[in-house]
Amino acid sequence: MRYWVDFDGEGFEVTIVEENGTQKIILNGEAKEVELFKIDSNGTYVAYVDGAPLIFHAEISGNGEVKVSLPDVTHQMNIVKSVGRSGERRRVVDAGPAKIKSPMSGLIVDVMVEPGASVEKGTPLIVLEAMKMRNEIKAPRPGIVKELKVNKGQTVETGTVLLTIE
Amino acid sequence: MRYWVDFDGEGFEVTIVEENGTQKIILNGEAKEVELFKIDSNGTYVAYVDGAPLIFHAEISGNGEVKVSLPDVTHQMNIVKSVGRSGERRRVVDAGPAKIKSPMSGLIVDVMVEPGASVEKGTPLIVLEAMKMRNEIKAPRPGIVKELKVNKGQTVETGTVLLTIE
Amino acid sequence: MIQRLLVANRGEIAIRIGRTARDMGIEYIAIYSDADRNALHVLLSDRAYRVGPPESEKSYLNMDRIIQIAKDAGAEAIHPGYGFLSENAEFAERVIEAGLIFVGPPPEAMRLMGDKLQARKLAQKVGVPTVPGSREGISSVEEGIEVARKIGFPVLLKAAMGGGGKGMRVVRSEEEFTSAFKLAQAEALGAFGDSTIYIEKFIENPRHVEMQIIADRYGNVVYLGERECSIQRRHQKIIEESPSPVMTPKKRKEMGEAAVELIRAAGYYNAGTVEFLVDKDLNFYFLEVNARLQVEHPVTEVRLGMDLVKEQLRVAVGEKLGFSQKDIQPRGWAIEARIYAEDPANNFFPSPGLIKFLREPQGPYIRVDSGVYQGYEVPIYYDPMLSKLIAWGETRQEALARLKRALNEYIVFGIKTAIDFHKRIIEDERFRRGEIHTGFLNEFTYTSLERKKEAAIAGTLAYTRKSAAISVDKGECQPESRWKTLGRELALKGGIDEILG
Amino acid sequence: MIQRLLVANRGEIAIRIGRTARDMGIEYIAIYSDADRNALHVLLSDRAYRVGPPESEKSYLNMDRIIQIAKDAGAEAIHPGYGFLSENAEFAERVIEAGLIFVGPPPEAMRLMGDKLQARKLAQKVGVPTVPGSREGISSVEEGIEVARKIGFPVLLKAAMGGGGKGMRVVRSEEEFTSAFKLAQAEALGAFGDSTIYIEKFIENPRHVEMQIIADRYGNVVYLGERECSIQRRHQKIIEESPSPVMTPKKRKEMGEAAVELIRAAGYYNAGTVEFLVDKDLNFYFLEVNARLQVEHPVTEVRLGMDLVKEQLRVAVGEKLGFSQKDIQPRGWAIEARIYAEDPANNFFPSPGLIKFLREPQGPYIRVDSGVYQGYEVPIYYDPMLSKLIAWGETRQEALARLKRALNEYIVFGIKTAIDFHKRIIEDERFRRGEIHTGFLNEFTYTSLERKKEAAIAGTLAYTRKSAAISVDKGECQPESRWKTLGRELALKGGIDEILG
């Protein structure tokens, strides 16, 4: 079975084959023997890739959204069955408005722009507080503030859309 | 609510009362404020008894059988609602045949008695092996071997009845 | 010695202090906010009392309530840990007025040292060099800009009552000043209840080297060696080591003696740290005194075989130091990495949340002082430090190798941490050569977008396993079912035939 | 130095050796039986290979397979750990014949020391005193009874190829002899593949004191101080400390030099331990040489700041010792408690099973070498040791206080352990005075039927909570729902008003 694993635009084709009772995974032309085990029922796994243990945590949402935490790094990816010719499939990068999401749970202590405001890359947009730290969220690119979705004093979760820039 | 907590014959009456939103537990006339929290969904709890944390693990089977592991000691108990006069209830000690149970999971490597055999207290009955250790299970009291429920070479679990002595 | 000690703190430091209390046969009394009901510092206590709602102002900073709890619990002494009330002279005074022992310096010395401006003046008086800067707190943006112009940009804004990097901001130009000043004031107010800010010349690329001292009430002051804490992000130390890679015995003696002189002049006793900036020519400038136990105290402990909290308690009850300067014979090298719930790929934003899996490092010459457990939810209200990882070795190289090993076996899932970031730092060539300074991390490019291939393999395997499980419920190899899959009965029988021959 | 090391073992010792390998930049190659597929020593390895089915005979004792794996994996050396093949001279020979490095003594010395009877003879030859006993292996019950009569009961049956208490039995009278002899033979065969048993005079109430040595190929032999290991159950050490509470500097030197002499006479190099029985007058008698790393080696390490596995690897690749006898300057006191999955209230029967909750001790001067994790199922096939807990202090009293603290914060649910039993031992007055001997635990009455009141409270609370949950599903305070119960939104808003004024 072939899968396309997409990391926000950049991706790999991953093929899983069964051979004589062992599972192999092929990535970039390299085939490796793999075994997968659950460590607990909370999403912790160990995969042995050519005998090397890879402990990880996976959160699998619908639609192929998978969040994988290796012990030292976390990656968000989209997994779909690959149907095109090998290596051909590419995700179309979204060129629409930039959604500014909250990078963590916290409290909006200041909103520094209004809808319609013109911002440069780096313009401070919002001040978020958590754990006694105040963090300025800055514009990732120039544009016009379109929708403002939060207010001062409001609590937000990780990933909440704060505003959009067009 | 009053409960009778029985440890294989010896027991305590435990009363739980709600008072001004706090829970109190009364044991041997001593009242203590208690709070209970789950630490995980596998049976690990913490109780605060007059503010002192008591971390424990509880396995609750039907019929009021409860196995409580404190960090340093494990106790098996039977809990029933207490209906008699306070302090009066006593469990009737079972005077029937002694069931010899396996103290651990392991392998029966020898059965040293046959049904009908007369044994003294301390007579070796069965040799059990686990983790490369051989352990003689001895008769806890004199009597006649009644039922022999296991055979050499058989694997047993903790608590499996091996034989009975009458 | 006392019978009961209340620790007016939370997390790893409350636990660390509680451990020493228990080692000394003293009961460890914990306090908790509603957000910390089942925090590890509560679970490991002898008795715990509710101090208030989650916000620090109403809980861990609530002096009246904390003192009342100490009395109710029958505690004779209060240890403030670090942060929160630890450098609050008023709190120390009120503890003493309540007839309790404050495990820390005398309030007068705290007040003196807590006011960074007064501390600077004292240092100047006893001949310890200081960094150029404003003599007083700055009351307005306009005044600040004027002072900054006089000193010359870049300048450093610092909270007069501050510590731990909070309320601290580098300002490189006049344009940045207004916004930075207001943020610094607000942070200072939130963290220390006082918005006073002062300004110092920002020395480019200095090292941060500090001297640990311990003093008793009888004028005995001993320095316990330096710590180099130049690896900082957001002005907060994240890797500390002892000794400093650049320190010479001569400089160490000079710095140690300067620290002792200042401490004596301040009438200070108990544990404390004198912080210095060190420039490229090994000139050192007094920065401030941390009038408390510091986060990084274990790197000093493991080299000396000493328990600083034990020494604090001994001094607090009026004992004399049991050693003098010549008894201090450090062994080998020690290094600490602070593990926070944070996202190094996203400007170290805190990453609170539920810890779904945890396996902390262990083994030879590794000490872990942790405040969390598997199943614990890191709250959003407090400093997000999870643990401190301390490695010891005969040499710096050996200590670094062990720290790397420990980082490699640190597994925590559910929240983000900077464990990978730490690994990159200690593998950096300049770091390995000891060529570090407080701006080191600003020049350090880090992306967590590595190891995508491993992640892709892991993700695909888990995804296909889950899909398969949903469609055919074929059962997976869980711990509970391993027993059966291994064909236990058969295997055992095979085994026994062989054994019984 | 080598690039890859295969560790032919499992559990905590495989991990411990793997850690040093990684510290030295060497890849740690693990092997696993089917019962150990996801054991911690596998999870923490760089690469792991299946060695066979669960039974040791087919896996961790399978010489051909292990050597083949080492070759396949490109490992240049094999470390055998302790137990399993660690004292098997044939294995060492075959490893060497295969062109690999055996991390241990030379096979000839192993063979000599492995045969307890030959080792006794050598000791007698070089003038080291020995315990009276049979000169040869005993082939039949009849011969055994005759020898035992000659020596005089009580006698001790010992496996000639044995170690770790397996195959060992005290026999106090002729009546007990037959049954004990057969059990000992069967255990010896199962554990060591050789049923040879010999008989020694059983010295009443001796201390077990052993001397750690390290030697290189060039005749340099250094003793690293003694360990007292008198606290034994089923002839297996469970608490070990260094130094011995009764040792004098003079006796230490005598014993150390006797050990060095014997080791030199045997042509032995690498790490090893010379075990002695010590009687009430501090006379010592040679018992045997453990030609391998021992379980309790960490108590020596933490006093010296040394890594014995590193030294083993250095010696194995042909390096000279980097120190001599005068460099050995131990610091303070160290003590180790071995934590097994076992039931002390039931004759220490093993208690394998699933670990449902685990929080191991940490903090100042505590080292934990553990082989398990939460969610791991302790298999029934092997020695049930979970971990070793090592505490260090300046004095014995301080080390004991820290060990007690660590035992108090050790939480493991799902299997039984002797943690409470350990606490009772170290609180025992005679133990605290150092009045111990190898029969100490036989005289030690222990019942786990304490703390019934706490258990009754805990049980009733959990029981009523569960009943209530079933009948009204009112929800409990789980980590996942704490957030909500705390009224997070409101609390935060309260907090911010205060902060923003």
Each residue of D261-294: pLDDT tens digit?
999 999 999 999 999 999 888 999 999 999 999 9
**Buried b / exposed e along C416-428 (16+ C-beta atoms within 10 A):** bbbbbbbbbbbee
**Is the same domain home to A21 and A72?**
yes
pLDDT at A92 over 50: no
Structural domain contains residue B40: yes
A108 with A159, same domain: the answer is yes
Domain assignment of residue B91, yes or no:
no
**Smallest Cα–Cα separation from C318: which of C89, C101, C82?**
C101
Directed axis angle between helix D116-125 and helix D107-114, to 10°?
A: 100
A68 and A38 belong to one structural domain:
yes
D38 touches chain A (CB under 8 A): yes
Closest residue of chain D to B70, computed from CA coordinates: D455
CB proximity B66 to D under 8 Å: yes
A23 within 8 A of A17, measured Cβ to Cβ? yes
State pLDDT tens for residues C138-149.
989 999 999 999
Residue D478 pLDDT greater than 60, yes or no: no
Q: C405–D23: do the CB atoms touch at under 8 Å?
A: yes
If asked whether residues B71 and B102 sit together in one domain, one would say no
Q: Name chain D contacts of A155, Cβ cutoff 8 Å.
A: 488-489, 492-493
Chain D residues whose beta carbon lies within 8 Å of the beta carbon of residue C366: 367
What are the start-end ranges of the E strands in chain A? 2-7, 10-19, 22-27, 30-38, 44-49, 52-60, 65-70, 73-81, 98-101, 106-111, 118-119, 124-130, 133-138, 143-148, 155-156, 161-165
- Partners of D46 on chain A (C-beta within 8 Å) are 52
- Read off the DSSP letter of residue C483: H
Distance of alpha carbon C463 from alpha carbon D437, whole angstroms: 58
Separation of first and last alpha carbons in chain A: 39
Q: How many residues does chain A have?
A: 166
Is D482 an 8 Å CB contact of chain A? Answer: no
Domain ends where: D408, D428, D443? D443
**Neighbour order of strands in the sheet with C197-201:** C169-171, C155-159, C197-201
Any CB–CB contact under 8 A between C423 and chain A? yes
Q: Any chain A CB within 8 A of the CB of D15? A: no
Determine, yes or no, domain membership for A88.
Answer: no
Q: D165 or C474: which carries more pLDDT confidence?
A: D165
Do B156 and B106 belong together in one domain?
A: yes
Q: Nearest by CB to A48, from D48, D375, D495: name it.
A: D48
Q: Out of D424, D443, D462, pick the residue that ends a domain.
A: D443
| CA–CA distance, D254 with D271 (Å, rounded to integer) | 19
* Residue A103: DSSP 8-state: S
Closest Cβ opposite residue A104 in set C56, C183, C350: C350
Is residue D345 domain-resident?
A: yes
Name the more confident of A132 and C332. C332
For residue B51, being part of any structural domain is answered with: yes
- Shared-domain flag, residues A102 and A72: no
pLDDT tens-digit series, residues D82-111 = 999 999 999 999 999 999 999 999 999 999
The torsion of the CA quartet D448, D452, D455, D460, rounded to 10 degrees, works out to 150
CB contact B36 to D (< 8 Å): yes
Q: D6, D28, D38: which to substitute to probe chain A, counting the most A Cβ within 10 Å?
A: D38
**D137 and D166 within one domain:** yes
> Do residue D82 and residue D16 come from a single domain?
yes
B52 at C interface, C-beta within 8 A: yes
Residue D121 lies in a domain: no
Query: How many domains does chain D fold into?
Result: 4
User: In this complex, is the C-beta atom of D382 within 8 Å of any C-beta atom belonging to chain B?
Assistant: yes
Domain membership of residue A113 as a residue range:
98-165
Mean pLDDT of A62-67: 86
Distance, in Å, from the CA atom of C401 to the CA atom of C406, rounded to the nearest integer, reads 9
Specify if D280 maps to a domain: yes
Judge if D431 and D309 occupy the same domain.
yes
Question: How many CB pairs below 8 A link B and C?
Answer: 38
Q: Inform me whether the pLDDT recorded for B87 exceeds 80.
A: no
Among D residues 364-393, those touching chain C with beta carbons less than 8 Å apart: 364-370, 373-377, 381, 392
The token pair at D459 is 């049980």
- Specify if D149 maps to a domain: yes
D83, D102 Cβ separation under 8 angstroms: no
Residues A69 and A119 in one domain: no
- Residue C213 to residue D68: CA distance in whole angstroms: 57
Q: Is D84 on the interface with A (CB under 8 A)?
A: no
Provide the pLDDT confidence category of residue B132 given band limits of 50, 70 and 90: low
Read off the tokens for D398: 């301080």
| Degrees, nearest 5: CA angle D280-D284-D289 | 135
Q: Residues D179, D214: one domain? A: no
Same domain, C97 and C47: yes
Highest mean pLDDT among A85-89, B18-22, C106-110: C106-110
Q: What part of D 223-282 touches B (C-beta under 8 Å)?
A: 234
Beta carbons of D357 and B1 less than 8 Å apart: no
pLDDT of residue C166: 75
Please indicate, yes or no, if residue B88 is contained in any of the structural domains. Answer: no
D454 and B124 in contact by Cβ < 8 A?
no
Is A87 part of a structural domain of the chain?
A: no
Query: Which member of A25, A57, A131 has the closest CB to residue C357?
Result: A57
Q: Give the CATH number of the domain where residue C58 resides.
A: 3.40.50.20
- Both D374 and D340 in a single domain? yes
Same domain, D43 and D175: no
- Residue C234's pLDDT is 81
Q: Is the pLDDT of residue D499 over 80?
A: no
Which of A39, A53, A153 faces D496 most closely, judged by CB atoms?
A153
Q: What percent of chain A has pLDDT over 70?
A: 90
Cα–Cα distance between C136 and C196 in angstroms, integer?
Answer: 9
CATH code of the domain covering residue B107:
2.40.50.100
User: End of a domain among B82, B114, B134?
Assistant: B82
Distant-in-sequence, close-in-space partners of D297: CB < 8 Å, separation ≥ 6? D212, D271, D308
Q: Are residues B16 and B56 in the same domain?
A: yes
* Distance in angstroms (rounded) separating the CA atoms of residues A111 and A152: 6
pLDDT at D324: 97
Give the helix ranges, DSSP H, for D74-197: 89-97, 107-114, 116-125, 141-151, 174-192
Tell me what the pLDDT averaged over chain D comes to: 90
Whether residue D435 is found in the same domain as residue D461: no
Give me B107's structure tokens. Answer: 């392998």
> Are B21 and B65 contained in the same domain?
yes
- Percent of chain C predicted with pLDDT > 90: 75
Instruction: Evaluate whether A97 touches A73 at the Cβ level (below 8 Å).
Output: no
Based on the fold, state whether residues D227 and D293 are members of the same structural domain.
yes
pLDDT in tens, A96-116: 567 788 877 788 988 989 888
- DSSP line for D251-310: HHHHHHHHHHHHHHHTT--EEEEEEEEE-TT--EEEEEEE-S--TTHHHHHHHHT--HHH
Q: Is residue A89 assigned to a domain?
A: no
To the nearest whole Å, the CA of C500 is away from the closest chain B CA by 8
pLDDT in tens, B21-57: 899 999 988 999 999 999 998 899 999 999 999 999 9
A120 inside domain: yes
Using a CB-CB cut-off of 8 Å, the residues of chain D touching C21 are none
Note whether B68 contacts D462, CB cutoff 8 Å: yes
Out of B21, B47, B82, a domain closes at B82
Residue of C nearest to A127 (CA): C183
Instruction: State which of B54, B82, B110 marks the end of a domain.
Output: B82
Interface test mutation site (partner C, options B34, B128, B155, B156, max chain C beta carbons within 10 A): B155
CA pair distance C403, C365, nearest whole angstrom: 9
pTM: 0.85
Check whether residue D226 and residue D317 sit in a common domain: yes
**Structural domain boundaries, residue C147:** 132-201
Q: Does A53 contact chain D (CB < 8 Å)?
A: yes
Q: Considering all CA atoms of chain B, what is the largest pairwise distance in Å, rounded to the nearest integer?
A: 63
Distances (CA, A) of C248 to B22, C243, C255: 62, 10, 10
Nearest CA in chain C to A132: C382
Q: Is A29 on the interface with D (CB under 8 A)?
A: no
Give the DSSP letter string of chain B.
-EEEEEETTEEEEEEEEEETTEEEEEETTEEEEEEEEESSTTSEEEEEETTEEEEEEEEE-GGGEEEEEETTEEEEEEEEE--SSTTT--PPPP-SPEEEE-SSSEEEEEE---TT-EE-TT-EEEEEEETTEEEEEE-SS-EEEEEE---TT-EE-TT-EEEEE-
Quote the CA–CA distance of D444 and D467 in Å, as a whole number: 41
Residues 6+ apart with CB under 8 A from C218: C320
Q: What is the mean pLDDT of residues B139-144?
A: 81
User: Starting from the edge strand earliest in sequence, which strands make up the sheet with C27-33, in order?
Assistant: C47-52, C27-33, C4-7, C77-79, C101-102
Same domain membership, residue C401 and residue C257? yes
Rg (CA), chain C: 25
Distance CA D228, CA D437 (A): 9
Q: Report which listed range, B23-27, C49-53, C188-192, is most confident.
A: C49-53
- Which run of H or of E encompasses C21? helix C11-23
Pair B3, B79: CB distance under 8 Å: yes
Total domain count for chain A? Answer: 2
CA distances from C271 to C130, C255, C312 (A): 22, 17, 6
DSSP letters spanning D191-230: HHS---EEEEE--SS-EEEEEEEEE-TTS-EEEEEEEEEE
Q: Which of C420, C443, C466 is the last residue of a domain?
A: C443
Could you tell me the pLDDT band of residue B103, with boundaries at 50, 70 and 90? Answer: confident
> Nearest C-alpha of chain D: how many angstroms from C129?
35
What would the mean pLDDT of D412-421 be, rounded to a whole number? Answer: 93
Helix (H) or strand (E) segment spanning residue C420: helix C419-427
Catalytic residue numbers of C? 292
Judging contacts by C-beta atoms under 8 Å, the chain D residues touching residue B55 are 411
Same domain, D358 and D496: no
Q: Find out whether B86 and B8 touch, Cβ atoms under 8 Å.
A: no
pLDDT digits (tens, 9 = 90+) for D439-462: 899 888 877 656 889 999 999 999
Q: Based on the number of CB atoms within 10 Å of its own CB, is D342 exposed (0-12), middle (13-18) or buried (19 or more)? A: buried
List the catalytic residue out of D94, D292, D303, D338: D292
